[in-house]
A and B are shown apart, each in its own frame.
Chain A
Amino acid sequence: MIVPRKNLTFWERLYLPAIASGFKVTARHFRNTVFKGNTVANDLSGGFYPEKKWVVAEGYRGAPYLVKDPEGNTKCVSCQLCEFVCPPKAIKITPPGPAGTADRPNAEKMPKEFEINMLRCIFCGYCQEVCPEEAIFLQKDYSLNAESRQELIYNKEKLLELGGVHQDKIWKWKHKAEEAKEQTTFPVAK
């Protein structure tokens, strides 16, 4: 697509009006900040950061954490799609191997280890978008601190603890298990 360029008028080409209006805008903000105390921080949270923490809006993309279903089971099934889609390669999943090790019925698989390197994470939300199990969500934490790089590599336990419980409406695996159980009596006789 070619966007036709507007032919500039003489005044526009001279650049001076642009300078003047640029100065006007910057001066207005300067004045309002210095003399009226209008700052973004005041507008949003009525104060400055450490004392008045910014309350993030709904849908804010903070740190990604793993969630549990309402029965307290891990939702992640180690499909590794988030690991694949993660642009900065912040996620590292260790698959369970042949044993599977799931802590709930019917889902045969869950990760042996799930690590997110929060130093690498760019909070893009791809992992949440790609997750077929609704097991990972970008939550509202935006201030992650640690005293070493190692500390900011969150493991499965920590991610699950921080992620909390997701009020799942679908109950995919549970429903499937119930459905299968209903069918066991018919028609394959034991």
Chain B
Amino acid sequence: MSTQATTEQKPAPPPIEKIKIKVDGRDIEVPKAMPDWQGKLQPTTMLQACQIAGIDVPHYCYHPKLPIAGNCRMCLVEFGTPAMGPDRKPVLNPDGTSKILRSVLPYEPSTPRGAIACATPISPGMEIYPNSPATKVMREAVLESLLINHPLDCPICDQAGECKLQEYSVDYGKAGSRFIEPKVHKPKAVDLGPRIVLDDERCILCTRCIRFTKDVVGDDKLGVVNRGSYNSIAAYPGTTFDNNYTLNTVDICPVGALTSKDFRFKMRVWFLKETKSLCTSCGTGCNTIVGSREEVMYRYEPRENDAVNSTWMCDSGRLNYKWVNREDRLSKVQGSKLKVQSQEKAWSVAIRDISEILRKAAAGSVAFVASARQTNEELYLLKKLATKSNAITDSVPRIGEGDRLLLNADRNPNSTGSRLIGISGEKMGSNLSKIAEGIRSGSIKTLIVFGEDVTKHGIGADLLAKLENLIVSDILPNATTAAAHYLLPGCAHVEKRGSFVNVKGRVQRFMQALQPKGNARAEWEFLHELVFNVTGQNGYVTIEGLFNQMSKEVPAFNGVSWAGLGDAGVTIQI
């Protein structure tokens, strides 16, 4: 089982023929064909060849995960092909190398002619000149034309700072403008959909958004209307751009034409600290980047991981972060049985009391309800506690409606982890009624709840009142936390490190972006102390050590290490 932990589960592709070309004067070998946006093999383009050579070719409409349109002309490069004699054999220079004919205008041989790198396939012996003077002139011209009607909105534009037009203007553009006529003004702040604002003036008509929603989402809503300088993006009349993936168009929009209503005017992007994280809204486990500044989380952005979410994520998951910043987050150790008032001492007293309760508990008198939103490491430590007191454990299932793209019906981020570690059985939630019954009959005297409001899942307030000890850890207040005898404030996933297993068995880790709120502590930290107090087993005090220990002890994780997870994660057999 352990040997099957690999990053990709695809069979090795058949070897692809390589061809020799020259990029910027350097000889390189590139495969003749490369996967396109759908993963099908297509002839390698000049842009891909340049990327292999480590040279960036500026581009707007080209996106590796979208069909090629070739309409922005930004990736124009000068190139040359081997000259062919009338005998269809290469013409040689006196020194034996093959003669290269630079591409020129057919009717004006002294003028270089560029080709769009994103859509021109390479051929053997080709030479690409991505930094030649002619290429630079072409880029300047393209940028100048793109900027003709582009407004000077940068100070009020949310894209500023991550805007390709800004970046390329600095890198490749002309210093001054020669355009003195009035700019064409188009509608601003157009309400394109419930989550999207369109600024038509800023649009450079790369059609990335149109292609995305048509070809990736399959919701053909957007198109270009009007003619000439008055070209603008619009949703088809009478409809609104409202599918569950609209916010991806904000990410792929190279300028500030499409902006997110949620993020609009909230924070400039250059302030945001970017932390690699995961989306916790469903079992897919989309890779994300958390943007935060001064302990406030501002946004999620998808992070590329071809094994999970390509470069996309759904709107529902992306906007499901606001609870992190909520004012009423639990930040104090409290509870009706906690005897100290001072928060400085509260943790040590609470941990001591809970350890005492768990040590003295008779076998079978303890039950655990641990959320499938907890990390593997936390579930693993909880499982250790449960095993010690021979407790009955379960998680709460969350089922919604899935779609064919990313959104999974399982709305817990770590159901698989919970099952693999043994907190929940094959059918999640089947033990909840047994726990309720045990409390009712009095056989279960101590209930430990992590991250769930059990009053909504069959264990009502009347049952909670019968318990001798109710130990709850959560991050937001609810009916269960209100009834808790000991309430331990935990951390949101952006405030700690840990790992999840998605529905397809991919183990992925996430990093800490924010500091815990108030006196809250990461669950695995205090669980580690509890496990030591109750079982006497010492463990690791770092998340790395803890994960590696878990991977040794839990069969499903055998052979996986924290470092080995990397940014993209590892798929395990489930």
Contacts and interface: CB of A to CB of B under 8 A. Distances in A.
A–B contact with Cβ pairs below 8 Å: the answer is: yes
B268 interface: yes
B539 interface: no
Given A98-B261, A98-B262, A172-B152, A80 B183 contact: no
Given A95-B265, A97-B265, A98-B266, A77 B185 contact: no
Interface string A55-86: 00000000000000000000001111101100
A79 B182 contact: no
| Main SS class of interface, A | loop
B267 A95 contact: yes
A133 B155 contact: yes
B170 interface: no
B184 interface: yes
Given A79-B155, A84-B271, A188-B226, A179 B185 contact: yes
State the main secondary structure of chain B at its contact with A: loop
Interface in B143-195: 151-152, 154-156, 160, 182-185, 188-189
Nearest to B183: A179
Contacts, number: 57
B156 A77 contact: yes
Nearest to A80: B268
Contacts of A81: 155
Nearest to A187: B230
Contact of A77 (B155, B183, B184, B271): B155
A97 B267 CA distance: 8
Contacts of A78: 156, 265
A84 B265 contact: no
Nearest to B153: A108
A176 interface: yes
Nearest to A133: B155
Contact of B271 (A80, A132, A179): A80
Contacts of B265: 78, 95-100, 108-109
Nearest to A102: B156
Contacts of B226: 188
Contact of A108 (B182, B188, B270): B188
A165 interface: no
B264 interface: yes
A138 B266 CA distance: 27
Contacts of B266: 95, 97-98
Interface of B: 151-152, 154-156, 160, 182-185, 188-189, 226, 230, 261-262, 264-268, 270-271
30 contacts: A77-B155, A77-B156, A78-B265, A79-B155, A79-B160, A80-B268, A80-B271, A84-B270, A84-B271, A95-B268, A96-B265, A97-B265, A97-B266, A98-B262, A98-B264, A98-B265, A100-B264, A100-B265, A108-B156, A108-B188, A109-B156, A132-B155, A172-B152, A179-B182, A179-B183, A179-B185, A180-B185, A183-B182, A183-B184, A183-B185
